[in-house]
Amino acid sequence: MDRPIRVLVAKPGLDGHDRGAKVIARALRDAGMEVIYTGLRQTPEQIVNATIQEDVDVVAMSILSGAHNTLLPKVVELLKAEKADDVLVIGGGVIPDDDIPFLKEKGIAEIFTPGTPTSVTIDFIRANIKRK
């Protein structure tokens, strides 16, 4: 518990809506976490590479393109293949409630939809982080 929680904030998919990603990144940083932000248009492979290279505890993905059912599970799969599935994976964005059970089943720990206070996400991370 000595080092601060390290989080990769990532933007999978092709959409350019990064307001949410940047706001959450700043909020996590203000909450004492170390945050790396990937920038736009990251493929699942790029996200997994960054996860491993940056040795993060959490991958927080923001997506508003509608491709969440394709891309988010793929990140979890690749993390498993790389034996990095001790990383907490969460998501946020315009994601219909109907899709959330499917995403959770695929290993995304939680989905935060529009209007979620950043404090809720921060608390969730602190409570659910799998310490290495």
Q: Is 81 in the site for another protein (CB under 8 A)?
A: no
Q: Is 14 in the site for another protein (CB under 8 A)?
A: yes
Q: Choose between 46 and 52: whose C-beta lies nearer to another protein.
A: 46
Q: Choose between 49 and 118: whose C-beta lies nearer to another protein.
A: 118
Long-range contacts of 36-43 (CB under 8 A, 24+ apart): 36/6, 36/7, 36/8, 36/9, 37/9, 37/10, 38/8, 38/9, 38/10, 38/11, 39/11, 40/11, 40/15, 40/16, 41/11, 41/13, 41/14, 42/10, 42/11, 42/12, 43/12
CA distance 48 to 8: 10
Q: Choose between 21 and 79: whose C-beta lies nearer to another protein.
A: 21
Site for another protein in 36-75 (CB under 8 A): 37-41, 43, 65-67, 69-71
Q: Is 32 in the site for another protein (CB under 8 A)?
A: no
For residue 86, the minimal CB distance to another protein (Å) is 26
> The tokens 């960054």 sit on which residue?
50
Residue ranges that bind another protein, judged by CB under 8 A? 13-19, 22-23, 25-27, 29, 35, 37-41, 43, 65-67, 69-71, 94, 96-98, 113-115, 117-119
